Structure 1
């Protein structure tokens, strides 16, 4: 399950950002995950919930937006949506998929802050 390792990397990235920003309260973390990354959003959600318990991210909502796999055929000069694991070639001319326009994304889109219950901004 590579979602576990991805979650560890995500937590480290967020911790560096969080500490650098003065430890603000976080409500939500928005991710963009492409279909072609083979990351299962449900597994990623689960790994995030488990690995953030009793940390600075405890209770933070992970919001995942999936992007579809979209390729561009230079022969036909058109975009198409390959069926992952079944057919990657252009459905019109059968040229192999060589130009992926969408679907490989795996990034933090944004972090939403929360209004802290108290004015304590320590990073403890």
Structure 2
């Protein structure tokens, strides 16, 4: 996953007309992705040593898991790993509205 993140940033970086210093990478990470932010930060730091991304920090915004129950016509927040059904009618979670995100929100950079 970290490799895909670095490759995406590298593609953007190489398409720019001038080099930039990447200071911070803002990520949106859904709770339902089971991505551990500390592990992601560690892997990013290790894999970016001696590259144009060395020293760049990750800013991770967690996105909660939100589902929608079509029987009750209401949104709810399931407890990850414990209860994935609607708390009112107990129908299975089948419409996830958020929590699966894993994407770059934006980059902070400066001219070199």
The TM-score with structure 2 as length reference comes to 0.95
Mapped pair 1:77 → 2:73 = yes
1:88-103 superposed matches below 5 A: 88-103=84-99
Alignment counterpart, residue 10 of structure 1, candidates 5, 14, 31: 5
Match of 2:107 in 1: 111
TM superposition outliers: structure 1 runs of 4+ over 3 Å: none
- How many pairs align? 111
CA distances 1:29-68 after superposition (whole Å, capped 9, x unpaired): 1000000000000000000001001101000111110000
1:39-58 superposed matches below 5 A: 39-58=35-54
**Greater strand share, 1 or 2?**
2
CA distances 1:2-47 after superposition (whole Å, capped 9, x unpaired): xxxx111111111010010133221111000000000000000000
